[in-house]
Structure 1
């Protein structure tokens, strides 16, 4: 898995730091941003995972000041979206219990993280089934229908060094109590 963000980076003080995984660094930054509500009026890039404060991603006017979650996806080294299962408490017979959307709950040890699986919802807050018609894989076309997210009680622990890409999607308010 060479070429997946391993090497060195320059921090804001122009110091060189060795990193094992850029995905780990980004997820750590997302966690810090979720934990800290830092006011910053200057928005250099509207899609950067490092954009602060929470609530400004894809919402530069800061309409969503109450955001408590930066939703993101992860890609494996083969370019496929990482997915996880969740239990739908509202619909125990739900067959579309797979998501590619996450919220970071904790980052610990050597780039391990606990991620909360988020249930994808459409504009009307109805479930979006991300699976292909035969249920065997993620249908990428269905991702375009996702506009909202709902927290689940399902969490997964991952090694962030196993991923090559992270994409931030949206800042939302999921009423997460810290």
Structure 2
């Protein structure tokens, strides 16, 4: 059961499509599936909202839109509205700043599972941003998220059930040099 979903409610058996992606009523799963399709295909199409996760082609969330991009960076939000965080292995050393709320979809499989690459948050100077709260090292400091303007791919991937999240927020289209 996904966020806010009632087990007694029967999901619609009709499917809609957005940009060729089948929308089956699982909101977060549908959006992440669309992000994966957009990353895999380069089509000329515009959406009405400049930060919509459904905007194609990949690169439309950046200015200028013709900037090469291979990744749509996004965050997942839990039922209480807080960003979902994941641990990653730091390249230089593993200290307490090895947590991120930024992801790249690598694969979607099964009913609504996904493999996500954890992205290392970077500031405008290229420095790693420690997203953890200074006083409570298990919580994300939301004000620090605003300092993140760039990302690096990590070697850390996680597998998630997308039905466990309530929202997805697309952040930017970037080039990380990831080979498929």
TM-score under structure 2 length normalisation? 0.87
Q: CA RMSD in A?
A: 2.1
Matched residue SS, 1:174: coil
How far apart in 1 are the matches of 2:112 and 2:146? 30
**For 1:38, which of 32, 39, 43 is the aligned residue?**
43
C-alpha contact (below 8 Å) 1:98/1:130 kept by paired residues = yes
Q: Which structure 1 residue ranges, 5 or more long, are not aligned?
A: none
CA distance in 2, matches of 1:18, 1:29: 9
**Structure 1 equivalent of residue 114 of structure 2:** 113
CA apart distance, 1:77:
1.2
- Alpha-carbon deviations, 1:36-79, whole Å to 9, x = none? 01123x442101000000001142x3141x20000000011121
- Give the equivalent residue in structure 1 for 2:179: 177
- CA offsets, 1:76-129, max 9 Å, x none? 11211100000011x124320000000000000010000000000000110100
Equivalent of 2:147 in 145, 158, 163: 145
Classify the secondary structure of the residue corresponding to 1:145: coil
Distance 1:12 1:137 in 2: 37
Q: Return the alpha-carbon distance in structure 1 between the equivalents of residues 59 and 172 of structure 2.
A: 8
1:2-151 equivalences under 5 Å are 2-3=4-5, 7-8=11-12, 11-12=16-17, 19-40=24-45, 42-59=46-63, 61-64=64-67, 66-89=68-91, 91-134=92-135, 135-151=137-153
Gaps of 5+ in 2: none
Structure 1 length-normalised TM: 0.88
